[in-house]
Amino acid sequence: MGLNNQWMQRDLAVLWHPCTQMKDHEQLPLIPIKRGEGVWLEDFEGKRYLDAVSSWWVNVFGHANPRINQRIKDQVDQLEHVILAGFSHQPVIELSERLVKMTPEGLTRCFYADNGSSCIEVSMKMSFHYWINRGRPDKKRFVTLSNSYHGETIAAMSVGDVPLFTETYKALLLDTIKVPSPDCYHRPEGMGWEEHSRNMFAAMEQTLAEHHDTVAAVIVEPLIQGAGGMRMYHPVYLKLLREACDRYGVHLIHDEIAVGFGRTGTMFACEQAGITPDFLCLSKALTGGYLPLAACVTTDEVYSAFYDDYPTLRAFLHSHSYTGNPLACAAALATLDIFEEDNVIENNQALAQRMASATAHLADHPNVAEVRQTGMVLAIEMVKDKASKTAYPWQERRGLAVFQHALERGALLRPLGSVVYFLPPYVITPEQIDFLAEVASEGIDIATRDKVSVAVPKDFHPGFRDPG
Binding site as annotated, residues: 56, 116-117, 149, 255, 284, 319-321, 414
Contact between residue 258 and residue 281 where contact means Cβ atoms under 8 Å apart: no
Instruction: Detail the residues annotated as belonging to a binding site for substrate.
Output: 56, 149, 284, 319, 414
Please report, in range form, the residues annotated as the binding site for pyridoxal 5'-phosphate: 116-117, 255, 320-321
Contact predicate 371/360, CB 8 Å: yes
CA distances from 252 to 200, 242, 437 (A): 18, 7, 37
Give the total residue count for the chain.
Answer: 468
Distance CA 121, CA 143 (A): 14
Instruction: Determine how β-strand 231-232 pairs with β-strand 419-422.
Output: unpaired
* Residue 289 burial by Cβ neighbours in a 10 Å radius (0-12, 13-18, 19+): buried
Q: How far apart are CA 7 and CA 152, in angstroms?
A: 29
- How far apart CA 113 and CA 110 sit, in angstroms, is 10
- Pairing label, strands 251-255, 215-220: parallel
**Cβ contacts of 24 within 8 Å, gap of 6 or more:** none
Would you call 62 helix, strand, or coil by DSSP? coil
Compute φ and ψ for 416, nearest 5 degrees.
-100, 95
| Residue 454 CB partners (closer than 8 Å, separation 6+) | 395, 396, 397
CA angle in degrees (0–180, nearest 5) for 151-157-163 = 105
Beta bridge partners, 254, equal: 220, 280
Which residues lie across from 33 on neighbouring strands?
43
Helices 326-341 and 90-102: angle between axes, nearest 10 degrees: 40
